[in-house]
Amino acid sequence: MTATFETRAAVLWRLGDEPPYAGGDALTVESLTLAAPGAGELLVRIEAAGLCHSDLSVINGSRPRPTPMVLGHEAAGVVEEVGPGVIDVAPGDHVVMTFVPSCGHCTECAAGRPAMCSVGAAANGSGTLVAGGTRFGRGPEAFAHHLGVSAFAERTVVSRGSVVVVPDSVPFDVAAMLGCAVLTGFGAAVNTAGVRPGESVVVFGLGGVGLSAVMAAALAGAYPVVAVDTVADKLDLAAALGATSVVDAGADDVVAAVRDATGGGADHALECVGSARVLETAFAVTARGGTTVAVGLPDPSHRAELPAVQLTGEGRVLRGSYMGSAAPARDIPRLIRLWEAGRLPVERLRTGDIGFDGLAGAFDELATGRAVRQLLHPVTVP
């Protein structure tokens, strides 16, 4: 086993910078050493990694994490080496990364809720792997991991509980998006909300997560499916992916428009923006007895004000959904089968391909709200 590897990686040096990021020095590409995988770990060559708002919220400081940190948490790649004790993954396997490493033995994992893994959550908060410590370094300096993945790198080391093996026939560009955007949005509609045929659904925010929720609602037989955003191109894409009505949040009276489209209120309202204000609006358009699902991650300091009496008096349900309440080893193969059948066109979410030299500028594009999923190819750009 090789003692260390060399890899290029995108390093975030500090939190709190605002765009433009292109030309700045908060996010730079560095040459680092990468320790060989330890017990229960894998060395993975990254083939495609998606840019997500959860990455952007670390850069701008709304999701505090330790720095310096190798960013990136949505990716697919090829296993190059396995550490001691890994018996069900082999070099050459294609894998999808997931951003909550499942330890497999905590109370939450034992209850079938790996997205709530307490061991994984603690490791993610400290910027380490589940086994402890970091694997990226340069001289005496250590570099933190992002959500156990650190996908903005040519190579990374991850815990076995951070990956799902997938068929070689699934393109990396599709596979990468399954681990965060699609898993989170699809799961929010199917696993968390439990959308059933004929129920009405409204989705606020049409990034990769929100558009995946739209596709899931349509596949589940929901009607109507209402999509809300401020970007015209995203509204058009939502309509192409199954939304039966679209609402321009920048021009329309959102509450009135959604209530009109759903006949008085939605059975399920999914907030995929990460905004306390939008969560309040989502709650306002939910019907009596309906469910409001908080999917986006707001700044921890933000607070939402909701009429509490409606929770009891109208039998409302307010739920949180992290990683789509998913069990990745179960759900990612299901998503792949739907994609293979042509029923889940994940490739429609892809809006651009970049190399390391375009990464900072791509975050500027993401910050404008125009991009859905830009994919980083650390080695080559198709």
pLDDT beyond 50 at 381? no
HSE (side-chain half, CA atoms, 13 Å) at 211: 27
At position 172, the amino acid (one-letter code) is F
Q: How far separated are the first and last CA of the chain, in Å rounded?
A: 32
Helices 232-240 and 208-219 cross at an angle (nearest 10°) of 30
Radius of gyration of the chain (CA): 20
Rounded average pLDDT over 300-322: 95
Give the max Cα distance, the chain: 63
Q: Does 184 have pLDDT greater than 80? A: yes
- How many C-beta atoms lie closer than 10 Å to residue 263's C-beta? 10
Model confidence band, residue 382 (pLDDT cutoffs 50, 70, 90): very low
| Total residue length of the chain | 382
238-290 residue pLDDT tens:
999 999 999 999 988 999 999 999 999 999 999 999 999 999 999 999 999 99
Please name the helix (run of DSSP H) or strand (run of DSSP E) that holds residue 45, with its range, or none: strand 41-50
Distance CA 289, CA 186 (A): 22
* Res 333: pLDDT: 98
Q: Is the pLDDT of residue 380 over 80?
A: no
- The pLDDT value given to residue 3: 75
pLDDT surpasses 60 at 376 = yes
Provide the pairing of β-strand 245-248 with 225-229: parallel
Q: What angle do CA 75, 76, 81 make, to 5 degrees?
A: 120
Helix ranges restricted to H, the chain: 53-59, 107-110, 118-126, 172-177, 183-187, 208-219, 232-240, 254-261, 276-284, 309-313, 328-340, 359-368
Phi and psi of 277, rounded to 5°? -65, -40
Q: Which residues contact 358 (CB under 8 A, 6 or more apart)?
A: none
Which one-letter amino acid corresponds to residue 299?
D
| 192-240 residue pLDDT tens | 999 999 999 999 999 999 999 999 999 999 999 999 999 999 999 999 9
> For 20-73, how does the pLDDT look when each residue is reduced to its tens digit (9 = 90+)?
999 999 999 999 999 999 999 999 999 999 999 999 999 999 999 999 999 999
Domains and CATH numbers, the chain: 4-180+326-376 (3.90.180.10), 194-320 (3.40.50.720)
Q: pLDDT of 115-172, one tens digit each?
A: 999 999 999 999 999 999 999 999 999 999 999 999 999 999 999 999 999 999 999 9
Mean pLDDT of the chain: 96
What is the rounded distance in angstroms from the CA atom of residue 93 to the CA atom of residue 192? Answer: 31
In single-letter form, the type of residue at position 19 comes to: P
